[in-house]
């Protein structure tokens, strides 16, 4: 797991604001708060987790607003979605190329930086009629904490 410090968070938020302006979307305090909450962690939080934290300082924000905001961010390429197939979608503000591993017991999601996973040969023969825009790998396993308990 990586360590995210205040300077990294500030940089991510500033990049988010600049990119949002380039894309022509409004930069509201609520949107910044939602993004900052996501950019402040490497835990890949769910919408509900982000909502619970945002609710502390924006008590009138709704869960629906957080869902819609995260969907908008994802569609615009400002964040990525880690789809844990047997659980709710989880979000990631880290857009540097990486993959994920998820614990099948506790559902913890962690980043994996392994160059060998980025060399997958996806040939036209394998793809049929699809034009691939990218790929990510989601590995499943049991984390050390769950194995030890």
Domain parsing of the chain, residue ranges: 6-82, 99-148
Which residue carries 């949002």 as its tokens?
A: 20
Give the whole-angstrom CA distance, residue 142 versus residue 105: 6
**What is the per-residue pLDDT across 107-118, written as a single tens digit (0 to 9) for each?**
888 899 888 887
**Residues 99 and 114 sit within 8 Å (Cβ to Cβ):** yes
**Residues 142 and 103 sit within 8 Å (Cβ to Cβ):** yes
Give the whole-angstrom CA distance, residue 65 versus residue 70: 9
Give the whole-angstrom CA distance, residue 1 versus residue 109: 10
Protein fold of 6-82: Arc Repressor Mutant, subunit A (1.10.10)
Rounded to two decimals, what is the model's pTM? 0.76
| C-alpha radius of gyration, the chain, whole number | 17
Domain 99-148: which CATH number of 3.40.50.720, 3.40.109.10, 1.10.10.10, 3.30.1490.190: 3.30.1490.190
What DSSP designation does 46 have? B
**What is the per-residue pLDDT across 30-73, written as a single tens digit (0 to 9) for each?**
999 999 999 999 889 999 999 999 999 999 999 999 999 999 99
């Amino acid at each position: 797991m990586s360590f995210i410090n205040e300077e990294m968070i500030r940089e991510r938020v500033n990049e988010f604001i600049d990119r949002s302006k380039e894309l022509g979307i409004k930069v509201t305090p609520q949107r910044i708060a939602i993004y900052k909450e996501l950019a402040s962690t490497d835990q890949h939080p769910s919408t509900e987790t982000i909502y619970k934290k945002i609710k502390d300082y924006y008590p009138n924000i709704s869960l629906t607003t957080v869902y819609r905001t995260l969907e908008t961010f994802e569609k615009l390429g400002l964040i990525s979605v880690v789809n844990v197939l047997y659980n709710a979608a989880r979000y990631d503000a880290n857009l540097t190329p990486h993959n994920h591993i998820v614990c099948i017991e506790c559902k913890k999601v962690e980043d994996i930086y392994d160059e060998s996973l980025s060399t997958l040969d996806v040939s036209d023969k394998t793809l049929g009629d699809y034009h691939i825009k990218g790929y990510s790998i989601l590995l499943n396993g049991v984390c050390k904490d769950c194995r030890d308990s």
